[in-house]
Structure formats: structure tokens, C-alpha cells
DNA sequence: AGTCTGACGGTAT
DNA sequence: AATACCGCCAGAC
């Protein structure tokens, strides 16, 4: 990775915030991006999270969905791991989308 | 160096 | 309400 000082900080913050997501709750890329001060860079959040899948850092990336509550990242996750992890936390996933998403939404 | 794409989201039509 | 388009940033070709 390039990893300039600023970039590294951005990713690190993403991991930190995602790790703070309570079990059984979910959040959105936009919420994280906004919390970091870059509300328009939600894509970077998702991109950063993808790195964590290959990285040694564990972050509950399965708790992060898009603003629609849809598990867009489930394609990148191996198999249906994302859905299984969510259901393991009492989060119901219907048609690749979090049920009662609005109620489960957690904002840092 | 130019162009396209992508775990997104907001605004415009 | 549904669809299109644009902005953001980084990576791949």
C-alpha cells in the first residue's frame, strides 16, 4: 500500500469505528465517512473495509451496509459469510438486505 | 497520462 | 417514485 501518513490514519479510524459497532447493530458507509469528516468519500470506507478482509486486523465489516441496508459487500465476502455472521447476531437478512434496518442502525 | 470501475451517497431530472 | 448523473479517491489496465 502507499500508506502516506494521512491515508494510514484514515484507514485506522475506519477500523476503530467499525470495531465500536455493538453486536446486533449495523451502520452505513456514509455514516462512518461522515464521522471521519469525509461524508462524500463513503466509497473509500468500503474500499478500506475490503482491505481488512485480507488484512490481519479483524473488524466486523459484516455490520456495515449501504444506506439502503443492503449487504452490498456480501459479494466480496467469501460465500455467504456476511449474511451468516449477521444472522448469528440476531440480525435478520432478507433478500440481501437487513430487516428492520432503520431500527438497528447505529451511528458513531 | 487517460479512462473505467468500485463494499456509496446525494442531488437533479 | 424511479432513474440518471455527479462527486470522491484509489487501483487496475
Q: What is the rounded distance in angstroms from the CA atom of residue A3 to the CA atom of residue A27?
A: 26
Q: Which residue has the cell 442502525?
A: A105
User: pLDDT tens across A28-77, in order?
Assistant: 999 999 999 999 999 999 999 999 998 888 999 999 999 999 999 999 99
Does A47 contact strand C, using a CB cutoff of 7 Å? yes
Summarize the confidence of residues A68-94 as an average pLDDT. 93
Give strand letter and number of the nucleotide nearest A10 (CA to C1').
Answer: C9
Strand B: residues with CB below 7 A: A 28-31, 33, 39-40, 42-43, 45-47, 49-50, 52-53, 61-62, 64, 66-68, 72-73, 75-77, 82
What DSSP string describes A41-93?
-HHHHHHHHHHHHHSS----GGGEE-TTSB-GGGGTSSTTHHHHHHHHTT--E
Q: Evaluate the CA torsion angle A35, A86, A77, A96 in order and state its sign.
A: negative
User: pLDDT tens across A1-35, in order?
Assistant: 443 445 578 899 999 999 999 999 999 999 999 99
Say what the pLDDT of residue A87 is: 95
Amino acid at each position: 500500500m502507499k500508506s502516506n501518513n494521512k491515508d494510514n490514519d484514515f484507514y485506522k479510524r475506519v477500523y476503530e469505528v467499525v470495531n465500536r459497532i455493538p453486536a446486533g447493530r449495523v451502520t452505513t458507509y456514509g455514516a462512518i465517512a461522515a464521522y471521519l469528516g469525509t461524508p462524500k468519500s463513503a466509497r473509500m470506507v468500503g474500499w478500506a473495509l475490503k482491505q481488512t478482509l485480507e488484512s490481519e486486523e479483524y473488524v466486523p465489516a459484516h455490520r456495515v451496509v449501504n444506506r439502503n441496508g443492503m449487504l452490498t459487500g456480501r459479494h466480496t465476502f467469501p460465500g455467504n459469510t456476511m449474511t451468516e455472521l449477521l444472522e448469528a447476531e440476531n440480525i435478520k437478512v432478507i433478500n440481501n438486505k437487513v430487516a428492520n434496518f432503520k431500527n438497528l442502525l447505529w451511528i458513531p
